[in-house]
Structure 1
Amino acid sequence: MKKLLKYLLILALVPTLFLSSCKKDDSVVVGGDNSFEILTTYLVDNDMDLPDVLTGWIVAAPAAADVATFIDTYDILDIRSAADYANGHIEGAVNSTLGNILVDAQNTTKPLLVVCYTGQTAAHAVVALRLSGYLTAKVLKWGMSGWNSTLSGKWEANSGDVNGAAAIGNVSWTTDPIAGIQSFEYPALIVTSTTGPAILEERVESMISGGFKGVSATDVLTNPTNYFINNFWAQADVDHYGHIVGAHRINPLSIENGEIANIDPDATVVTYCWTGQTSSMVTAYLNVLGYNALSLKFGANSMIYPNLEVHKFVTPTTDLPLSTD
């Protein structure tokens, strides 16, 4: 009798287990436990490791005499708001958005130049482009802030001796030795695809649809323990300037050489550099790989500007032309 009851109980549970399993599978489709390995192998094999993506990715505004040649060199995608684009943009630039950057790139024939307000959101876009076949896409350094002084407001508000000193005298800035390197498991990718190219396409689309991922220096300095912080400088610069309390220094950061295993997949990863432009590139790439990553906006320019000897934003003294066509 006990055996019969046990058998009937099992039969009663089977439909419930089956329906629960189906419900779970319908809500999340996982490409497989090896999706991260498939993606990263594909990236390395096709010269899209992070150091490759960070090669020749940025260009400064030209001298006034070279503007015409500069403009003729690129197809320019301006991802500022439609209103700001209409008020003045680089001649020939096409208004786009981070989310639509890959769609608008299909209509181009020249090397791509992406323009935003500060160079930071454009860096996210350039990672998406470089991982999608546009291998020579570049960021306009400093964004439109570096093109014309009338558009420099965002940089001026977040750098300089007054607005760029968040870390000076702050207890969260230190000259103590930087945190040691650890090894972690890789993030679990939730994807529907199973091949390298398809997983990459899916992850890039996820990154750009998620928008720019940034955090202010004030937020990080107030609660540095809330983040896994990576100082993306050379060791000599860390020794010279100091760093945020608890920061690591993982640079270079590559898949092929294994440094990617030094990033904590369970933490909110904050990368900082000099200007927020390189860290935006790194952040976009990490988000493609499945990390929860943020870029520290405006970088060291927002924290220790008065102490910096290089890599400082300076408002242009020569205004390059703007078009309203």
Structure 2
Amino acid sequence: MKKATLYFVLFLGITTLLSSFKSSENPMENPPSEFELLVQYLESNGDFINTIAPAIITADEVKENLRNDKYLVLDIRSADWFEYGHVKKSKNVKGPELLDYFENKIDASAYDKITIICYSGQSAAYYTSLLRLYGYNNVYSLKWGMSSWAEEFATNIWIKNSKDEFTDQIEHTANPKLEKGTTPTLSTGKTDAKEILQERIKEAFAKPYKEFIVKSPVAFEDPSAYFIVNYTSEDSYNTGHLKGAVQFQPKQCLASSTSLYKLPSDKKILVNCNTGLSAAYAVAYLHVLGYDVYNLAYGSNSYMNSALVEKGTNGWTTNEIKNFPVVE
């Protein structure tokens, strides 16, 4: 009888132990977070930010296709500026209303290319990135915005904001990336990755783009307030960057397999490219993932324009202005 009892106790112990092993091996015991689900979904469905971005179109191509019904141009500037002058056949739509416009006002698939236009190209790039992430793969932003279309639009935008006033404060030494850290916590309440994405993008459209902008005087006053991502090639990075900036290679470093997890989730992130255009695409992506992220307005052109022009790395000059006709 004692032996039978002992065998029974041993049997229960072994059964419990095996059960605990099986339980720990069950992936549902530690399901992936919303952040992980979202990253996996985006990377397995085109991985836009690490493959195609930025999706930029030039003024020349827009001009060549003004009579092409398969090309749609959407101008997100204010109604007053649109009335003052705009691209022929373009339609005026507010930036935050673009998603609703695509879902309920047009058949986006009927167009070969849909171009978003703003003043400088930066906010258009941000919204284009959101629309691309949502699945509209035929959307582009106009490089340099209306500043590339005619000089009257460039005067107070790119001409005014392309400067060299902080060249004596730029850094040339390389800064190391962080070690892998914690990731943002998303709380949409959804368990399906596509539904999480849809909720995050709707939230992103509800936040005005102007809240993502940091101007260079603010950044140079206290660069330590941000984790600065220099979103350019290594060559451009070595030309000069904000103090403490870390180089992140476009089309590569925002992948989970490379450096995405080396971004801090507990600090403001400032993305700096040469123009503010590629950075706007990255800002949209990182914001959807839950990072507290900002764009350096006008990029490195805002503090070292002449160096960029000299090296031929997207330095703004008036040669970018085409002076094409506008509709008033």
Name the TM-score class by shorter chain. Answer: 0.7 to 0.9
Listed as ranges, the matches of 1:254-265 within 5 Å are 254-265=254-265
Alignment correspondent of 1:120: 122
- Report whether the alignment pairs 1:224 with 2:226: no
Where structure 2 has 5 or more consecutive residues not aligned to the other structure, the ranges are 1-30
Alignment correspondent of 1:320: 324
Change (3 A) 1:114 1:176: same
Alignment correspondent of 1:11: none
Alignment correspondent of 1:290: 290
Contact kept in structure 2, 1:71 and 1:91, CA below 8 Å: no
Change (3 A) 1:93 1:137: same
Change (3 A) 1:71 1:219: farther
What RMSD over aligned residues (CA atoms) do the two structures have, in Å?
1.8
Contact kept in structure 2, 1:33 and 1:188, CA below 8 Å: no
Change (3 A) 1:260 1:121: same
Decide which structure has greater helix share: 2
Work out the CA distance in 1 between the residues paired with 2:279 and 2:165: 18
Partner SS state of residue 80, structure 1: coil
Listed as ranges, the matches of 1:69-108 within 5 Å are 69-70=65-66, 72=68, 73-106=70-103, 107=106, 108=108
- Report whether the alignment pairs 1:185 with 2:179: no
Kindly name which structure, 1 or 2, has the bigger radius of gyration based on alpha carbons.
2
TM-score between the two structures when normalised by the length of structure 1? 0.82
State the Cα distance separating 1:242 from its structure 2 match: 2.0
Name the stretch that deviates more: 210-219 or 114-123. Answer: 210-219
Identity of aligned residues (%): 27
The letter of the residue matching 1:242 is G
Alignment correspondent of 1:304: 304
Name the stretch that deviates more: 201-210 or 290-299. Answer: 201-210
State the Cα distance separating 1:33 from its structure 2 match: 6.8
State the Cα distance separating 1:177 from its structure 2 match: 2.5
State the Cα distance separating 1:165 from its structure 2 match: 1.2
Alignment correspondent of 1:61: 59
Partner SS state of residue 158, structure 2: helix
Contact kept in structure 2, 1:112 and 1:134, CA below 8 Å: no
Change (3 A) 1:71 1:155: farther
Alignment correspondent of 1:154: 157
Deviation digits for residues 113-150 of structure 1, max 9, x if unmatched? Answer: 00000000001110111012211211100000001111
Contact kept in structure 1, 2:148 and 2:321, CA below 8 Å: no
TM-score between the two structures when normalised by the length of structure 2? 0.82
- Report whether the alignment pairs 1:275 with 2:272: no
Alignment correspondent of 1:37: 36
Deviation digits for residues 285-304 of structure 1, max 9, x if unmatched? Answer: 10000001000010111110
Deviation digits for residues 139-174 of structure 1, max 9, x if unmatched? Answer: 100000001111102111100xxxx1132112xx21
State the Cα distance separating 1:182 from its structure 2 match: 2.4
Segments of 4+ moved more than 4 angstroms: none
The letter of the residue matching 2:245 is A
Partner SS state of residue 75, structure 1: strand
